Amino acid sequence: MYVLRRLLQAIPVVLGIVVVVFFMLRLIPGDPAAALLGTHATPEAIQALRDRWGLDEPIWVQFWLFLQQLAQGDTGTSLFYDVSTRTLIASRIPVTVALVALASVFSVLIAVPLATYAAVRKDRLPDHAIRMVPLVGLGMPSFWVGLVLILLFSVQLGWFPVGGWGDTFAEHVYGLILPALTSALGIVPLLVRSLRAGMLEVLEADYVAVARSKGIRESRVLFVHVARNAFVPTLTLLGINIAFLMGATVVVERVFQLNGLGSLMLTAISNRDFPVVQGVTIIFALAVVVITLVTDLVAAATDPRIKLS
């Protein structure tokens, strides 16, 4: 029941995303075809592009064309490479998925222990130190963090490659460590701040005192009673912040020369390759919708109260 309701809620959001991405072309000042092809374009080339996108047709016909393409998983042919955006995007997805996944893992591995340690040592030195993390971390541009990490770990110490993705699986993982760390550090401050508050709430809760008063082992108190109650807010928090994390990977991919969706988008922007930009944008937004949906469903499976609201 809850699953169905949650799925239905996602439908208007997906429709909204499609409409927004469609209307982006209309935001281009003047004739989009002329603007995209640049000043050297011949009138014939501009007219050809207008015909291809149906720019002389009424707006709903254009939207219908757009939807038809989208139904095939496509947003048109790349203006620069002359292949379908679907092919281009598909080839770039693995890098970005791996980067986002590894970055999520890193952010949890860094933020959860820090927040827990701060909460357990509340108002003492470790807590005060850890509470500085959000303060300093929030103002750090990801691309700059990436550069500093490259400077330290690749240039000075030589531990990691300066960039790139390698050829074998081992090289992929190895090459992803610094970029994933960079992306993770972008959301760690946000996670630490909220998680610390959440952990404090759970640690000071009466039901934890009750669990202790039963005489069960402290490890069981922590892993069963504390962890299970702290899991849902952590998951929800990660779900909310993953959108931001994905946005940050766009820039991080550029810094580390990774050929993922972010690099594709930035290259497409410098080539004024509009269909590709549209395609990447829509893929990112849909991914966020799916991830939010999944985290909500997992949270509901863990916390019986969620299904009520």
Partner 1 sequence: MSAPELATTGSSEQAVALEGFVVRSHPTLRKALRNRSLLTGGAIVGTLVLIAILAPWIARYDPLQQDLAATLQLPSWVHWLGTDELGRDVWSRLVWAARFDLATGFFVVLFPFAFGTLIGTLAGYYGGWIDTVLSRIIDVVMAFPYYVLIITLVFVVGKGIRGIFIAFALADWVTYARTVRSTTLVARRMDWAAAARSGGLSDRRIIVHHILPNTITQAIVYAMSDVVYVILAVVTLGYLGLGIQAPQPDWGSMIFDGQLFMTTRWWLSTIPGLCVVVTGIGLSLVGDGLADVLRPE
Partner 2 sequence: MTIPALKVEGLTVEIARGRESFRAVDDVSYALEPARSIGIVGESGCGKSISLRAIMGLLPDAARVVAGAVAVHGTGLSLEGKGAARQRRGHLAMIFQDPGTALNPVQKVGEQIAETPRLVLGETRGRARERALELLRHVGIADPERRYDSYPYELSGGTRQRVMIAIALASQPKVLLCDEPTTALDVTIQAQILRLLVDLREEMGLSVVFVTHELALVGQLCEDVCVMYASRLVETGPTPAVLERPLHPYTLGLLRSAVDLDEELEAPKPIPGSLPDPARRPSGCPFHPRCFLATPECASTTVTLTGLGDGRASACLHVERLLTEDGRALQEAAAKAAVKPQDPAGTAGGDGRG
Identify what 191 binds: partner 1, partner 2, none; CB under 5 to 8 Å per kind.
Answer: none
Q: How far apart are CA 227 and CA 250, in angstroms?
A: 33
Q: How far apart are CA 187 and CA 265, in angstroms?
A: 22
Find the part of the chain contacting partner 2 (CB under 8 A) among 7-15, 90-98, 151-159, 198-206: 198-206
Identify what 59 binds: partner 2, partner 1, none; CB under 5 to 8 Å per kind.
Answer: none
Find the part of the chain contacting partner 2 (CB under 8 A) among 32-40, 74-82, 181-189, 206-214: 206-214
3-class DSSP assignment, residue 77: strand
Q: Is 26 in the site for partner 2 (CB under 8 A)?
A: no
Find the part of the chain contacting partner 2 (CB under 8 A) among 42-50, 185-193, 218-226, 259-267: 218-226
Q: Is 183 in the site for partner 1 (CB under 8 A)?
A: no
Quick note: the x/- pattern for partner 1 over 249-268, rule CB under 8 A, is -xx--x----------xx--
Q: How far apart are CA 264 and CA 281, in angstroms?
A: 11
Identify what 210 binds: partner 2, partner 1, none; CB under 5 to 8 Å per kind.
Answer: partner 2
- If one counts every other C-beta atom within 10 angstroms of the C-beta of residue 26, the result is 10
- If one counts every other C-beta atom within 10 angstroms of the C-beta of residue 60, the result is 8
Q: 85, 69 in Cβ contact below 8 A?
A: no
Quick note: the x/- pattern for partner 2 over 244-283, rule CB under 8 A, is ----------------------------------------
Backbone angles phi, psi at 238, to 5 degrees: -65, -40
Beta-carbon contacts of residue 9 (< 8 Å; ≥ 6 apart):
none
Q: How far is CA 293 from CA 69, 282, 289, in A?
A: 25, 17, 6
Identify the CA nearest to 145 among candidates 104, 191, 183, 189.
183
Quick note: the x/- pattern for partner 2 over 228-247, rule CB under 8 A, is xx--x---------------
- If one counts every other C-beta atom within 10 angstroms of the C-beta of residue 116, the result is 20
Q: Is 288 in the site for partner 1 (CB under 8 A)?
A: yes
Number of H helices, E strands in the chain: 14, 0
DSSP 8-class letter at 210: H
Identify what 277 binds: partner 1, partner 2, none; CB under 5 to 8 Å per kind.
Answer: partner 1
Q: How far apart are CA 154 and CA 165, in angstroms?
A: 14
Question: Residue 183 CB, nearest distance to partner 2 (Å)?
Answer: 31
Contact residues for partner 1 (CB under 8 A)? 12-13, 16-17, 20, 24-25, 27-29, 134-136, 138-144, 147-148, 150-151, 155, 243-248, 250-251, 254, 265-266, 269-270, 277, 280-281, 284-285, 288-289, 292
Contact residues for partner 2 (CB under 8 A)? 122-123, 204-207, 209-218, 220, 224-225, 228-229, 232, 302-305, 308
